[in-house]
Amino acid sequence: MSEHTKSAALYDRAKQVMPGGCSRNTILRKPHPIYAAKGEGCFVTDIEGVKRIDFANNVASLIHGHAHPAIVQAVNAQLANGSAFTLGTEIEVAYAEQMVARSPNFEKIRFVNSGTEAVMSCIKAARAQTGRAKIAKVEGSYHGLYDYAEVSQTAKPASWGDADAPNSVPVAKGTPQSALNDVVVIPFNDPERAIAILDAHKADIAGILIDLLPHRIGVIPALPDFVEALRNWATANGALMIIDEVITFRTNFGGAQEGYNIKSDLTAMGKMIGGGFPVGAIAGRAEVMDVMDPTQGPAAFPHYGTFNANPITMTAGSMAMQMFDQPAVAELNALADKARSALAEAIRIADVPACVTGRGSMFRIHMKKQAPTSYRNAFVGPQEQACISALLDHMFDNGLIMIETCSGLLSTAMTQAEIDQLADTVLNGLRKIKP
């Protein structure tokens, strides 16, 4: 990467003024980050002029690739009319109607500015609705930065505790013990153990937070039995079912929950529903969502946000989601099926202990023979990490941008040609790193 002299120089400046030289650790790579100059369709060109296929899509937040002409045109028109008001806008109402129409579980919706905020708002809404403090979450599942949502994703196996009763482990130093005490951690895809743990906190749990395809657990789907057991437990015990669809919304027209035919109480969304702009959303049952309604008396959960539902995001998001209709979802998922098959074939030909997981338009390559089944066996040890890093470097040097876990996401801007290049590059990379 020594040829990236402009990026190296920019990073030298960045380090002087930002901790780690960035505003999000996601962009960091060794020996320095690469800086983007332009995105177009499924390609990104860096400031050195090198063009690559983008399988990271700003960490799953772009569904139509970069600078889709219809989104650019709509946003430009809105920009000329102003970007933020202390008044409502028609596009906010129209986009809310559009999103509510995508799932029977979305009776009402509010927009925020990130997935972190959406998850936080779901948790606060669940507490306000139930009058309870505790949240149950799946061990290792990532839900953004809210103190309660981020516990139990530590890379230190020694702190995990017993698999029958995983510890509530902080991620950030200084996390209040009170926050940890209010998070009940359950193992993934293990209904029996999960229910036993939940039973011990019956009267105190406001909601169960779950991602149906958690990427920190290897992009493996939640088992229908597990989801059903959690749903039934929540119903029987007066708790709410909160589904984090910040990434998974892309897998079905109405989000991953559509594929499970499950009734959720609240859903957190974000990323791609902003059409490339910062976004989050909370949608759910009207009765629960109305904890944010201040028109009938003081709201149980007073909810604000200066840039919530700003007209730029609403315009871009609405256009992006209009274009992501039922046929577009099916077409993208079919292309991703081909990508997963081609990657599995590359792994077979290279004859390395690796596998590919994923669903919808998402995939992840593991340097493990068997697909993981839990956070604990999805854990990437140092030897495996070295192989993944070498594979990622090979892919980047050969024109592919991936997410650092060796995950990728397709955009509607991609075709079979990009899938062929992905599979060829992975095959060559695996041959190169073969033990």
Residues that bind ligand PLP (CB under 6 A): 59, 114-116, 119, 142-144, 211, 244, 246-247, 270
Q: Tell me the closest approach of the beta carbon of residue 202 to ligand PLP, in angstroms.
A: 26
Kindly state the tokens that stand for 361.
């338009």
Q: What is the dihedral of CA 363, 368, 371, 373, to 10 degrees?
A: -120
Q: Which lies closer to ligand PLP via its Cβ, residue 239 or residue 243?
A: 243
Shortest Cβ distance from residue 124 to ligand PLP (Å)?
15
For 51, residues 6+ apart whose C-beta sits below 8 A from its C-beta are: 43, 44, 45, 399
Minimum CB distance to ligand PLP smaller for 74 or for 247: 247
Give the alpha-carbon dihedral of 260, 197, 172, 62, to 10 degrees: 0
Nearer residue to ligand PLP within complex by CB, 142 or 277: 142
Q: Which is nearer to ligand PLP, 170 or 429 (CB)?
A: 170
Choose among 338, 381, 387: nearest CA to 358.
338
The answer to whether residues 195 and 229 touch, using CB atoms and an 8 Å cutoff, is: yes
- In the complex with ligand PLP, the residue whose CB is nearer, 47 or 59, is 59
Write down the least CB distance from residue 131 to ligand PLP, Å.
Answer: 25
Q: How far is the CB of 273 from ligand PLP (least distance, A)?
A: 11
Q: Cα–Cα distance between 244 and 208 in angstroms, integer? A: 10
Nearest approach in angstroms of CB 333 to ligand PLP is 19
Q: How far is the CB of 281 from ligand PLP (least distance, A)?
A: 11
Q: What angle do CA 241, 119, 121 make, to 5 degrees?
A: 95
Contact between residue 265 and residue 107 where contact means Cβ atoms under 8 Å apart: no
- Our CB check for ligand PLP shows the closer of 119 and 316 to be 119
Complete DSSP assignment for 356-406: EE--TTEEEEESSSSPP-SHHHH---HHHHHHHHHHHHHHHHTTEE-BTTT
What SS3 class is residue 53? strand
Cβ-based burial of 346 (10 A; exposed 0-12, middle 13-18, buried ≥19): buried
Nearer to ligand PLP, 60 or 430 (CB): 60
CB of 6 to ligand PLP, least distance (A): 27
